[in-house]
């Protein structure tokens, strides 16, 4: 596959509809099954709503980053958060399911780590992954993350317009020194 030219920038409220559609299509539902990893078999909701996404876009100690192709189409996104003077958080990571496994995710993850280092001086990046998603955990391990003993509860009570398909979900916390 030819290398793709991406420009990565901080999202603004004007990007909300495109980012919302991207996240929903990548994480859950039938569209997400076109990608190589999905939560479709674990959770049947919409992942995030307009209010939640707008809060992330406007978060003073964070940023939603978007990756656009040459036509200006948003192919990928993620969020980065400053959790403390040294610790960052990476999440809301999504690549258009029809464009996955071509290196876009790797480019966005690297850019997000760089953004957190340059913007806030972050030295360690944390992320949370549903514990059953071993293929995704292996992907992050290949990017330099390690599993920790820490876990985080799954937000069963805060799902958006749907429900979980299992009752044993929680997040494993991964970490990487930047
Ligand atoms: C996770 C995600 C952002 C990665 O984006 P991407 O553009 O596909 O990522 P890349 O192209 O950089 O890497 C694809 C990787 O998948 C691997 N892969 C491809 N098909 C695979 C399969 N069937 N099983 C396991 N791994 C596979 C490739 O080997 C490659 O890893 P490598 O570079 O270490 O060899 C994307 O899959 C996505 O949007 N998933 C749905 C949302 C989600 O789960 N987000 C993360 C929540 S924590």
Residue 138 included in any domain: no
Q: How far is the CA of 100 from the centre of ligand 1 (A)?
A: 6
Instruction: Identify which of 67, 53, 90 has the alpha carbon closest to the alpha carbon of residue 176.
Output: 90
Residue 152 included in any domain: no
pLDDT in tens, 32-57: 999 999 999 999 999 999 999 999 99
CA 25 to mean position of chain CA atoms: 13
**Position in ligand 1 atom list of the atom nearest CA 106:** 12
pLDDT of residue 102: 96
Residue 30 belongs to what domain range?
7-128
Residue 159 included in any domain: no
pLDDT of residue 130: 98
Lining ligand 1 with CB less than 6 A are 26-27, 35-38, 93-95, 100-106, 129, 135-136, 139, 142
pLDDT in tens, 120-141: 999 999 999 999 999 999 999 9
Instruction: Identify which of 74, 80, 46, 48 has the alpha carbon closest to the alpha carbon of residue 61.
Output: 80
Q: Which region among 4-8, 88-92, 116-120 has the lowest average model confidence (pLDDT)?
A: 4-8
Contact in structure between 120 and 171 (CB atoms under 8 Å): no
Residue 22 has pLDDT above 70, yes or no: yes
pLDDT of residue 1: 55
The residue whose C-alpha atom lies closest to atom 46 belonging to ligand 1 is 93
**Position in ligand 1 atom list of the atom nearest CA 107:** 12
The residue whose C-alpha atom lies closest to atom 32 belonging to ligand 1 is 139
The mean pLDDT of the chain is 96
Residue 56 included in any domain: yes
3: confidence class by pLDDT, cuts 50, 70, 90:
low
Q: What is the mean pLDDT of residues 6-35?
A: 97
Residue 143 included in any domain: no
As given in the structure block, the two tokens for residue 21 are 């559609």
Q: How far is the CA of 103 from the centre of ligand 1 (A)?
A: 8
Q: What is the mean pLDDT of residues 81-101?
A: 97
CATH number, residue 72: 3.40.630.30
Residue 2 has pLDDT above 80, yes or no: no
Residue 47 included in any domain: yes
Residue 174 included in any domain: no
**Position in ligand 1 atom list of the atom nearest CA 32:** 41
Q: What is the mean pLDDT of residues 3-18?
A: 94
Q: SS3 string of the chain? A: CCCCCCEEEECCHHHHHHHHHHHHHHHCHHHHCCCCCCCCCCEECCCCCHHHHHHHHHCCCEEEEEEECCCCCEEEEEEEEECCCCEEEEEEEEECHHHCCCCHHHHHHHHHHHHHHHHHCCCEEEEEEECCCHHHHHHHHHCCCEEEEEEEECCHHHCCCCEECCCCCEEEEEEEEC
Q: How far is the CA of 37 from the centre of ligand 1 (A)?
A: 6
The residue whose C-alpha atom lies closest to atom 16 belonging to ligand 1 is 101
Number of other CB atoms surrounding residue 175 within 10 Å? 16
Residue 28 included in any domain: yes
Domain total in the chain? 1
């Amino acid at each position: 596959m030819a290398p793709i030219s991406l420009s990565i920038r901080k999202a603004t409220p004007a990007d909300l509809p495109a980012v919302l559609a991207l996240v929903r299509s990548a994480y859950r539902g039938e569209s997400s099954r076109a990608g190589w990893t999905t939560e479709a078999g674990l959770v049947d909701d919409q992942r995030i709503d307009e209010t939640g996404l707008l809060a992330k876009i406007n978060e003073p100690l964070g940023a939603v980053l978007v990756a656009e192709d040459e036509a200006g189409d948003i192919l990928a996104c993620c969020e980065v958060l400053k959790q403390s003077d040294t610790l960052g958080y990476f999440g809301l990571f999504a690549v258009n399911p029809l464009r996955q496994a071509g290196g876009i995710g790797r480019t966005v993850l690297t850019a997000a780590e760089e953004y957190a280092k340059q913007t806030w001086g972050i030295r360690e990046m944390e992320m949370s992954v549903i514990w059953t998603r071993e293929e995704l955990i292996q992907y992050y391990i290949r990017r330099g993350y390690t599993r920790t003993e820490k876990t985080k509860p799954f937000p069963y009570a805060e799902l958006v317009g749907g429900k979980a398909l299992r009752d044993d979900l929680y997040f494993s916390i991964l970490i990487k020194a930047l």
